[in-house]
Amino acid sequence: MMDNILTNIIFLPLFAAVVLGVFRADTKYLKIGAMLSSVATLFLVLFMTYNFDPHAGMQFIKISPWIQNAGISYFVGVDALSLVILLLISLLMPPLYIYMYHEKRKGYWYNMMLLQTGVSGAVLSLDMMLFYLFWETMLLPIFVMIGKYGNGLHRYNSMKIVLMTILGSMSMLFSIMYIGYIYFETHGIWSFALNDLASIDFNAQTSIWLASGFLLAFAIKIPLVGFHTWMAPAYGSAPTPAVVIMSSIMAKLGIYGIWRFGYSLFDSTLSYYAPTIITLALIGLLYYAIRAITELHLRRMFAYSSGSHLSLIALGLFLGNIYAWSGSLYFIATHALASAGMFIVIGLTYKRFNTVYLDSLGGIASKAPRFSFFFAFFALSIAGLPGTGGFVAELLIIIGAFKVNFYIGVATATTMLSAMVYIFWMLQRALFGTANNEREYEDLSFREMIMLLPLVVLLIATGVMPSFFMQIFDPFLVSTLEAFTLNSGGVK
Amino acid sequence: MLSLIVVIPFLSALLMALVYLADTKADRYKFYTIVGVGAPMIITVLSLMVGLELVSGEETIHNTLINWLSVGELRIEIAFMADRLSAVMIAFITFIATLIHIYAAGYMRGDEAYGKFFSYFNLFMGSMLLLVLADNPIMMFIGWELVGLSSYLLIGFYHTKSSNITAANKAFILNRVGDFGFIMGISLLFISLEGTGFTFESIKANIAMIDNETLSLIGLLLFVGAMGKSAQIPLYVWLPDAMAGPTPVSALIHAATMVTAGVYMVARYSFLYIEIPDIGLFIAYIGAASALFAAIIASYQSDIKKILAYSTMSQLGYMFIAVGLGAYSSGIFHVFTHAFFKALLFMGAGAIIIALHHEQNIFKMGKLKERLPLVYITMFIATLAISGIPPFAGFFSKDAILVNAFASGHHLIWAIGSFTAFLTAFYMFRLLFTVFHADSSDTKELASLPNSMTRPLVVLAIGSATVGFLGVNEAYGGSSWFNNFLVLPDSAYHISHTTEYLLGALNVSLGLIGMFLAYKMFAINKLEVKEDALYKKVIINKFYIDELYVFFIVKPLLFLSRLIANVLDPKVFDAFINLNVWTYRKSAVIFARLQNGKVRYYALYILIGVSSMSYYMLFKLGLM
């Protein structure tokens, strides 16, 4: 059971999709099948988490040769870093399927299942080629979902996200292949396994070039400022479940990639890039937040919001001390929960009022109090409301920034202000004011509450007892940081 | 027991929120009243027990709930600590909050969101108690932030009117600007003391580790937080607008919770501020400026609640003068006495507003002396108290502050304080005489006031008249019991009893002159505010500070946002991406031209190809 558990987790959704597809299942069975696959996966992940040992490093490893001539193997394993993201994706899928309850377009369901396999595979892969494969697999369903089921200029926008992302992927692929080639030259055999490649000592110049290939891919995925023009159009056009996955999970994979591959392959070279990325992240933090103030389209507004917070996460990562790192990793989790909740309620807003433009909303609070409560709760938790996990994460990143130096600390602390202006103005225009009497204000149904409650509970739990959740990854961070400081003398 | 004091309000808020969300339409007046008012009653008793324990000799009481966070050297527990300072704070906070809760049960009766109101109300109180009882700066900061959040929720309680939400946003945003400073102060403090623990007690023990320059920076940054929360220049503009909330909320914000937090914070960090007198002096000057500024504006307002709001800001100025000059106990004493009469003034104003069917302009009121006798008598006592007329509570606390200011040698601060004392008496009696004495043609039937609204007024009036005796100093034959009980590291300023009597006499006469002037001007005729001179126009428009904020902060932000939306994103960043697309397209056109289907062109390509190949083989490879 434990031996193949990761494989089961990765391929269960895909397997379900294939079975359902072969039997050409009705929408009714498709729904049940998808839901069952996601719940089963969630149970597997929770079971594995229960058996997970935070102190043991990489575990549940499975290696089997795959394309032997090229040294590519099926090599998966899980440590605290991948566990966090794996937990998130498996937690988010069931609520998303509940959200899609009335969805009749079959392709939509298949794409979601494929997406889950892609994401889980990407975070669990320890072979670079395997990682690349899953990395691209994630993009396919997003392309289809925006292009086929999106709204607005969806074809143009889906093309844009795919082309920009592929640009990054290609540069990453070149780096991967070149690293593999260097390994072949020194060892005489091919291998793409991460632990083999990590043993190579590059000369400084090569290392900088190779790292830039990876960093470009991750910078576009996050996106750092300057690489971001795909973001708002794609978020704006994408259907809600796709947006949730993009903002909560896929953007975080950019950070994950730097953490996993950047620090294993080129730890000292990252110090070379650190000042640039810290600067970009600090600019992004404010740039996106200021941009969001005048945005009227809710999904686009929270696209910018997401960009702003991901800049903060990237910043925390490159600050390179235990406070900032814990904050970043914790923020990955709590921001995923908050932004998933937010994009779902925005989706519910669209279902009710057929619009997500702020200037045509308003007055919801007086007619639909439950709806407003959830809406405001998620918005406030994005703004870092104390008592929710985001607050803890931001606090830690700010402290980490002050540890590096005072000025970076001050610039980082602006996160206290940046989200607030657009969030509170948004709440005012979306929820408050007088209600439009010709409009029907339907409050949340039981099904919708069930879908949102786990997110609310988790957000509060992560805010009230963070040390309970952090114990999963604390040893991982401490040991990684030690190794990193040993190799490069820390980020300067 | 300490954790119960904090947890009970939060739990009651949660319970009411769940019940409310389960069925928002149901009328559960009894349930909400019992839970909503019961919670503060229970914790008042608990707070008194804590107080008694400390009086009977305990130094501090500790109580740890759970381990909250443990990262690197940052080990934070959800833990509470009561020393004498926090015991005094919780004693009056819970007591006055209970009265306000009882009052609110009458005031808010019939509101369709009654349950929501009490849920927010208890959240507010819980946050404030967390702030006061926290045993480390991080927990205090959480309470600090939650206070801001609850004030946002309560100020915007009547949310169908957009201007109320604007007021709520303003309150939260300006508070967050303060918090921005506050969190930087905390972070810097933590980094400077990394590894020595981060509870107030350990910080106090290790404060000498930090060099003076850093310490000044920390003190300044923490005070920025206090400027926001306690509405001092320049972060005060939210306070007058906060009147948008229901009146009990105003009473709670101004008397028991929120605005006093800044003063408390400075007193809590007194071990830090005592090391940096320069920053202390800065705080005192900010306080003096705020006191005077607010008093001037208050003298020209016509909305009853706004006058009271500015008067709070002005009184807070006094408190900051005290704590800035190192007279921490005097500052806290004024917080304490002020809580009684300010709560009373707001609740009285609320009673008038309800009785007059939601009229708030004092110049539309008048002759209420006979029609609302109880409100009149109680408010009269409160007005005497705030004006510093002996033997009412305000006299002793305000006099102590002014004496300290004089004795410290900063005579400018003292002069501003004394002049403000005169203005205070003037604008407060202006309010009282206009509302209760001046003529009025209004004969509309008054709405009746429930007992739950009037009884608390009586209790508070007794308090306003008497609590000052707790802190009577030696010059007036007392023993400064209050100050001695607090054991704060006060700067000792010595001054002869004669000077003290002179200063006291001066203050009282200034108060009486203000009162007399107000009587002459407002008791018989109504002297409405007219914008007939430039200076009046400036004052009535509150010195155009709001407009300055809009011009220097809001407008540039919006401009920047539009600049990004219309120029930077599409014309710079996207232009680069689109340039690539354009290049592809253009090169496609060029290459398409090559493949045009005409044989003579293809013959040319063959010719070029063969010639280059021959050239390469001939000269480069040397085959021939």
Counting one residue from A and one from B, how many pairs have CB atoms under 8 Å apart?
137
CA dist A87 → A473, B289, B318, B394 (Å): 13, 55, 54, 59
pLDDT above 60: residue A213: yes
DSSP three-state, residue A190: coil
Contact: B188, A409; criterion CB under 8 Å: yes
DSSP three-state, residue B156: coil
Question: Which residues in A lie closer than 8 A to residue B68 (C-beta atoms)?
Answer: 465-467
The residue among B98 and A490 whose pLDDT is bigger is: B98
Contact: B176, A434; criterion CB under 8 Å: no
A-interface mutation test, from B165, B172, B187, B563, most A Cβ less than 10 A away? B187
Residue B545 pLDDT: 82
Residues 6 or more apart from B355 whose CB is under 8 A from it? B368, B371, B372, B375, B446, B447, B448, B449
Q: Domains in chain A: how many in total?
A: 1
CA A374, A379, A380 angle in degrees (round to 5)? Answer: 100
pLDDT above 70: residue A488: no
Residue A200 pLDDT: 85
Residue B82 pLDDT: 92
Amino acid at A211: A
**Averaged pLDDT for residues A435-442:** 81
The residue among A140 and B474 whose pLDDT is bigger is: A140
Contact: A290, B159; criterion CB under 8 Å: no
Q: Which of B230, B469, B459, B468 is nearest to B348 (CA)?
A: B459
B-interface mutation test, from A280, A330, A428, A457, most B Cβ less than 10 A away? A428
Question: Which residues in B lie closer than 8 A to residue A363 (C-beta atoms)?
Answer: 160
Contact: B561, A291; criterion CB under 8 Å: yes
Residue B464 pLDDT: 92
What residue in B sits closest to A465 (Cα-Cα)? B68
The residue among B24 and B319 whose pLDDT is bigger is: B319
Q: Is residue A71 part of a domain?
A: no
Q: Is residue A30 part of a domain?
A: no
Contact: B561, A363; criterion CB under 8 Å: no
- Lowest mean pLDDT across A7-11, A84-88, B159-163: B159-163
- For residue range B94-117, list pLDDT tens digits in order: 999 999 999 999 998 888 889 999
Residue B524 pLDDT: 76
Of A369, A428, A435, the CB nearest to B165: A428
B-interface mutation test, from A467, A473, A474, A482, most B Cβ less than 10 A away? A467
What residue in A sits closest to B76 (Cα-Cα)? A467
Q: Is residue A236 part of a domain?
A: no
Our CA-based measurement puts residue A6 at a distance from the nearest CA of chain B, in whole angstroms, of 29
Show the tokens assigned to A186. Answer: 């020194």
Give the rounded percent of residues in chain A with a pLDDT score beyond 90.
69
Question: Which residues in A lie closer than 8 A to residue B149 (C-beta atoms)?
Answer: 380, 385-386
**Averaged pLDDT for residues A372-395:** 93
Residue B526 pLDDT: 67
Of B69, B176, B574, the CB nearest to A417: B176
Q: Is residue A371 part of a domain?
A: yes
Residue A491 pLDDT: 43
Q: How does the average pLDDT of chain A come out, rounded?
A: 91
- Lowest mean pLDDT across A119-133, A149-163, A434-448: A434-448
Q: Identify whether the C-beta of residue B25 lies closer than 8 Å to the C-beta of residue B56.
A: no
DSSP three-state, residue A78: strand
Q: Is residue A492 part of a domain?
A: yes
ipTM score of complex: 0.92
Residue A489 pLDDT: 47
Of B72, B138, B561, the CB nearest to A294: B561
| Alpha-carbon span A259 to B455, nearest angstrom | 64
Q: Is residue A124 part of a domain?
A: no
pLDDT above 70: residue A482: yes
Contact: B191, A424; criterion CB under 8 Å: no
- For residue range A235-275, list pLDDT tens digits in order: 999 999 999 999 999 999 999 999 998 888 887 788 888 99
Q: Which of A178, A202, A208 is nearest to A190 (CA)?
A: A178
Contact: A369, B116; criterion CB under 8 Å: yes
Q: How does the average pLDDT of chain B come out, rounded?
A: 89
**Averaged pLDDT for residues B161-183:** 91
Q: Is residue A212 part of a domain?
A: no
pLDDT above 80: residue B529: no
- For residue range B402-454, list pLDDT tens digits in order: 999 999 989 999 999 999 999 999 999 999 998 988 887 766 778 888 888 88
Contact: A373, B21; criterion CB under 8 Å: yes
- For residue range B273-290, list pLDDT tens digits in order: 999 999 999 999 999 999
Residue B624 pLDDT: 57
Question: Which residues in A lie closer than 8 A to residue B194 (C-beta atoms)?
Answer: 403
Our CA-based measurement puts residue B206 at a distance from the nearest CA of chain A, in whole angstroms, of 19
Our CA-based measurement puts residue A86 at a distance from the nearest CA of chain B, in whole angstroms, of 23
Question: Which residues in A lie closer than 8 A to residue B138 (C-beta atoms)?
Answer: 395
**Averaged pLDDT for residues B474-500:** 83
- For residue range A15-61, list pLDDT tens digits in order: 999 999 999 889 899 999 999 999 999 999 999 999 999 998 899 99
Q: Is residue A256 part of a domain?
A: no
Angle between helices B162-192 and A415-431 (to 10 degrees): 160
Show the tokens assigned to B20. Answer: 């409310």
- For residue range B214-257, list pLDDT tens digits in order: 999 999 999 999 999 999 988 888 988 888 889 999 999 888 78
Residue A418 pLDDT: 87
- For residue range B555-595, list pLDDT tens digits in order: 888 999 999 988 888 888 888 888 888 888 889 888 888 88
Contact: A396, B21; criterion CB under 8 Å: no
pLDDT above 50: residue A490: no
Contact: B183, A321; criterion CB under 8 Å: no
Q: Identify whether the C-beta of residue B597 lies closer than 8 Å to the C-beta of residue A250.
A: no
Question: Which residues in B lie closer than 8 A to residue A296 (C-beta atoms)?
Answer: none
B112 — phi, psi (to 5°)?
-70, -20
pLDDT above 60: residue B302: yes
Give the rounded percent of residues in chain B with a pLDDT score beyond 70.
99
| Alpha-carbon span B379 to B377, nearest angstrom | 6
Print the domain residue range for A294.
266-492
Our CA-based measurement puts residue A187 at a distance from the nearest CA of chain B, in whole angstroms, of 35
Q: Which of B317, B176, B335 is nearest to B257 (CA)?
A: B335
